[in-house]
């Protein structure tokens, strides 16, 4: 998986194992202590268990390195039930998967974190593409991801890589998370031909009404200091 990218340093994506856990946890804690917006990420109840499960049977932890230095990591959950995911996310996946509880064909693009030195080089989008490719090879057809409404970089990257925002989840502790879904190997569902709607982020009530009516978030639009989600109505028969 080693290839040069169009930056000064050479970047390597490598599947990490148990021996790398300490380095990953240290990097995670450093990044979490310097988030641009405090709501960008809120730690899981069992943050270390979550990480550990991804160097074990529940998924993969992909390291992003340059010259032997770990500058980021990206998690792919392949076993939705046993990966220490938030129960609200697991319930939402079942809901958006036609009520199917087996999760055999689903995966989660879980946390990606980059040290500031590694940002602004398109590495998050590369990590999304790489994880989708691995998931597809392992028989997954639907990818789920969560993003804070205030994490514009994360949202823009998910949307640019083909994800569509389909829901706004509320957690017991007050967190809000957009739920983005990528349907692999499928053309994007056709829209109904009606004009899109712009809703200020995070006007939760208005967005929830639109999600329930089958609208899909496709783009982030900036107007001055304000950010809006552009929602498109989907054709009724295309909803799934």
Helix and strand numbers (H, E) in the chain are 6, 10
Kindly report the length of the chain.
240
Question: Residue 208, interface with ligand COA (CB under 6 A)?
Answer: no
Place of tokens 């990097």: 27
Which one, of 54, 80, 46, 38, lies nearest residue 176 by Cα? 38
Q: Which residue spans within 115-196 are E strands per DSSP?
A: 142-147, 164-170, 176-183
For ligand COA, the closer CB: 189 or 203:
203
For ligand COA, the closer CB: 67 or 223:
223
> Pick from 28, 54, 84, 124: which binds ligand COA (CB under 6 A)?
124
**The dihedral formed by the CA atoms of 210, 214, 218 and 220, expressed in degrees to the nearest 10:** 10
Selected range binding ligand COA among 55-63, 122-130, 161-169, 199-207, rule: CB under 6 A: 122-130
Selected range binding ligand COA among 48-56, 62-70, 120-128, 204-212, rule: CB under 6 A: 120-128
Place of tokens 């496709």: 218
> Pick from 53, 97, 106, 112: which binds ligand COA (CB under 6 A)?
112
The 25-44 site mask, x for binding ligand COA (CB under 6 A), equals: ------x---x----xx---
The helix/strand/coil state of 26 is: helix
Give 184's contacts (C-beta < 8 A, 6+ positions apart): 132, 135, 136, 140, 141, 142, 143
CB 183 within 8 A of CB 97: no
Question: Residue 76, interface with ligand COA (CB under 6 A)?
Answer: no
The 144-183 site mask, x for binding ligand COA (CB under 6 A), equals: -------xxxx-xx--------------------------
For ligand COA, the closer CB: 134 or 238:
134
Quote the least distance from Cβ 112 to ligand COA, whole Å. 5
Which residues form the interface with ligand COA (CB under 6 A)? 31, 35, 40-41, 111-114, 119-120, 122-124, 151-154, 156-157, 220, 222, 227
């Amino acid at each position: 998986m080693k290839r040069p990218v169009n930056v000064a340093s050479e970047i390597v994506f490598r599947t990490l194992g148990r021996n790398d856990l300490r380095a990953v946890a240290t990097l995670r804690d450093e990044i979490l202590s310097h988030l641009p917006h405090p709501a960008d990420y809120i730690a899981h109840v069992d943050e270390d268990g979550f990480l550990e499960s991804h160097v074990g049977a529940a998924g993969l932890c992909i390291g992003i390195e340059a010259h032997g230095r770990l500058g980021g990591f990206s998690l792919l959950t392949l076993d939705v039930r046993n990966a220490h995911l938030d129960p609200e996310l697991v319930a939402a996946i079942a809901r958006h998967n036609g009520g199917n509880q087996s999760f055999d064909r689903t995966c989660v693009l879980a946390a990606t974190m980059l040290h500031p030195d590694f940002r602004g080089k398109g590495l998050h989008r590369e990590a999304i593409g790489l994880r989708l490719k691995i998931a597809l090879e392992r028989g997954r057809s639907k990818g789920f991801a969560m993003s804070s409404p205030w994490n514009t970089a994360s949202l823009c990257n998910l949307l640019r890589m083909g994800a569509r925002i389909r829901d706004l989840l509320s957690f017991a502790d007050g967190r809000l998370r957009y739920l983005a879904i990528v349907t692999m190997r499928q053309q994007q569902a056709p829209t109904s031909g009606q004009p899109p709607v712009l809703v200020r982020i995070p006007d939760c009530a208005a967005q929830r009404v639109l999600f329930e009516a089958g609208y899909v978030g496709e783009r982030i639009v900036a107007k001055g200091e304000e950010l809006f989600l552009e929602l498109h109505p989907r054709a009724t028969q295309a909803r799934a």
